[in-house]
């Protein structure tokens, strides 16, 4: 059998990466199981600079009782926008948990560098808290959640909410979050198995931070691993695969949270690559991880 080598674009080539990853997400969306019983309501929030940002509230059909809600921030390596597979993923979480979820189509790099993405996401959280009564949401039972770049943004939003005095967060749920701009190369033994490798990571962080990447002036709201103080953050859930470039930085962040007294649940899934829940949604592991995430949503 002839082995086919896929040539990756060089570090810094974000345009080609967009095309490659969007095509991969197109294929993932075809495998994703459909979820019924979820209604979607469109809204708009103005960003810090006045730009209107699309919001979509997913909620179980026919429910309006006051209760829990979550803000979900999608992935994409800081260089890609909303994709249909994220819609399918959100629908699944809502259908399984019964918890309404708000998504925001935040702006992304390099067209919109830091701090625009995290500030867009924070604006969505403020909107959710301010509209909680109209949306039948308890403002004390709101979580922020996200995967990959969205997980890093969720962690950044949690830090902003703490440092700006609100809105209150009941939990932060981080799925293989991208937390540290100081990219590690990892073991050469697993490098060929990485679905998001060091060149990809350098590309995403450089698009977001420009010349600041890896330096001393990077904001902790952009790269939460840079935060000097992680105390007084909401109870935290983190999961990541053992074949994920981010597992070390995610483990370190979980350890720091625990040392600071933040209730933290951490899962390291051996042999799982980055994005496994999107690219193998029907696998036993993806189902088990979905159960864990849904359990945390239900606990709000």
Paired strand residues for 100: none
274 is catalytic: yes
Phi, psi of 31 (to 5 degrees): -90, -15
Q: Which residue is catalytic, options 219, 244, 250, 269?
A: 244
- In degrees, to the nearest 5, what angle opens at C-alpha 210 toward C-alphas 208 and 214? 95
Spell out a b/e string for 247-257, using b for 16 or more CB atoms within 10 Å of the CB, else e.
bebbeebbebb
3-state secondary structure the chain: CCCCCCCCCCCCCHHHHHHHHHHHHHHHHHHCCCCCCEEEEEEEEECCCCCEEEEEEEEECCCCCCEEEEEEECCCCCCCCCCHHHHHHHHHHHHHHCCCEEEECCCCCCCCCCCHHHHHHHHHHHHHHHCCCCCCEEEEEEEEEEECHHHHHHHHHHHHHHHCCCCCCCEEEEECCCCCCCCCCCCHHHHCCCCCCHHHHHHHHHHHHHHHCCCCCCCCCCCHHHCCCCCCCCCEEEEEEEECCCHHHHHHHHHHHHHCCCCEEEEEEEEEECCHHHHCCCCHHHHHHHHHHHHHHHCC
244 is catalytic: yes
Q: Which residue is catalytic, options 92, 103, 132, 148?
A: 148
103 is catalytic: no
Neighbour count for residue 220 (Cβ, 10 Å): 18
Q: Active-site residues: which are they?
A: 148, 244, 274
């Amino acid at each position: 059998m002839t082995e086919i080598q896929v040539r990756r674009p060089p570090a810094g080539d974000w345009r080609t990466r967009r095309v490659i990853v969007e095509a991969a997400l197109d294929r993932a969306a075809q495998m994703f199981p459909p979820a019924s019983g979820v209604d979607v309501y469109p809204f708009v929030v103005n960003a810090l600079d006045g730009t209107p940002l699309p919001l979509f509230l997913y909620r179980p059909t026919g429910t309006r009782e006051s209760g829990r809600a979550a803000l979900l921030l999608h992935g994409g390596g800081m260089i890609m926008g909303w994709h249909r597979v994220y819609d399918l993923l959100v629908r699944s979480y809502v259908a399984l948990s019964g918890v309404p979820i708000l998504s925001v189509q935040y702006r992304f790099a390099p067209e919109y560098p830091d701090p625009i993405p995290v500030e867009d996401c924070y604006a969505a959280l403020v909107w959710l808290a301010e509209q909680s009564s109209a949306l039948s949401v308890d403002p004390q039972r709101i979580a922020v959640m996200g995967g990959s770049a969205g997980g890093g943004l969720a962690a950044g939003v949690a830090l902003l909410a703490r440092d700006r005095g609100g809105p209150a967060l009941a939990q932060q749920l981080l799925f293989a979050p991208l937390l540290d701009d100081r990219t590690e190369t990892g073991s050469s033994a697993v490098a060929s198995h990485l679905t998001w490798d060091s060149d990809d990571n350098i590309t995403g962080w450089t698009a977001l931070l420009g010349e600041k990447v890896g330096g001393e002036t990077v904001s902790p709201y952009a790269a939460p691993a840079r935060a000097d103080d992680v105390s007084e953050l909401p109870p935290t859930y983190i999961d990541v695969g053992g074949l994920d470039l981010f597992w070390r930085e995610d483990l370190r962040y979980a350890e720091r949270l625990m040392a600071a007294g933040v209730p933290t649940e951490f899962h390291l899934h051996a042999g799982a690559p980055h994005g496994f829940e999107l690219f193998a949604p029907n696998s036993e592991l993806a189902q088990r991880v979905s159960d864990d995430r849904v359990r945390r949503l239900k606990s709000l």
